[in-house]
Structure 1
Amino acid sequence: MELHIDKAEAIQAALKRGASNGLGFLLVDPAMSLIYANEEALQILNYPAKDRRDFEKVVRERLHSILTIQGARQVSSVTEFVSGRRHYCCRTLGVLLRSRPSNREDFAVLLERTLDIGFEVRKICEKHNLTKREQEAVAHVVRGLSVKEAAACMEISPNTVKAFLRFAMLKMQVSGRSAIMAKIIESKR
């Protein structure tokens, strides 16, 4: 997926809308140098540092460690990481900026806070005797990932993820993905 951007104003407007939702947004070049980062992204990547002396270096190192997990520098990849006690989903997209003369593809990086749902999901999965891979597929669905994104995280085909989810739904005696969510929400009560 390639995104062509003509004007920085369009990016700024989108970022202002995203900032109110706690969404971190960065543009980085292939060498992991920051082109742009909104305030939320900088807070996520720089946590818990208070001073900004080596700020750019800290952000670059943190971003590099996140994006090299599971080959996240591929176009349209999804990874998860922890910053402090918060869990985040990191999505990367390839971007061709017309304002930059190089043919190299830059990256747009979205950082979105997710819930740490591991305990509740494990509890439900153990109750229904799900296999490890079925548990993993269910956990990705609960986190809101699509089948394609879950497949990328699990390094298997989307059809295999669908099969794991079908087996999980049979064992849990539910009819769909939303019913899996309902089971987990019920267990919290």
Structure 2
Amino acid sequence: MRLFVAVNPPAAAIDHLGAQVTRLRVTAASAAGVNVRLAGPAQLHVTVSFLGDVEAARLVEVESALGSAAQHLHDGRHAVPRLSLGGGGRFGQGRSTVLWVGLRGEVEALHVLAGLVRSRLRQARLPYDARPLRPHLTVARPADRMDPADIEADRADLDDYRGPEWQVTELLLMRSQLDPRGSRYDRLAAWPL
């Protein structure tokens, strides 16, 4: 199973972002039939830690590690993050171009949560991507199907975007299933924060 740990913005934040995304060039290109992939509202999430392929037999260990991380956040020494979506960016170039919106607010508290998750995964000898957390929410995958100037204009528009504030309420274990039309995400477990 291909697994990751995430937090989800609430519906109001997703709807607010959606209104901004409808004004982007990537959305117009999609409506015109250009094969760009827009992230659907149900797919929007912030990855806290990517585990990659994990044997199904180890799912209980993963759940135990994440439950421990969530419980540790409740010990009073760590704040539950209050965040907002805002700022734009882009990863990759050519076929791997991804357009994203960043996070503002108590981002350091999100880094603490990610550190707790990774610590518990490491203690359980479970796999995870050790690269530094770059909190973002993927908006679209225009790849090389759009003029780079249009992608840059969308990035600049997202850079000016400021969404409503929200508090992280749960930690999610998600399964990613790769599909030629785009990845599909299934919620496997959740822990309240």
Considering Cα pairs closer than 8 Å and 6+ residues apart, tell me whether 1 or 2 has the greater RCO.
2
**Structure with a larger share of its residues in helix:** 1
Do these two structures clear the TM 0.5 threshold for a shared fold by scoring above it? no
Q: TM-score range by the shorter chain?
A: under 0.3
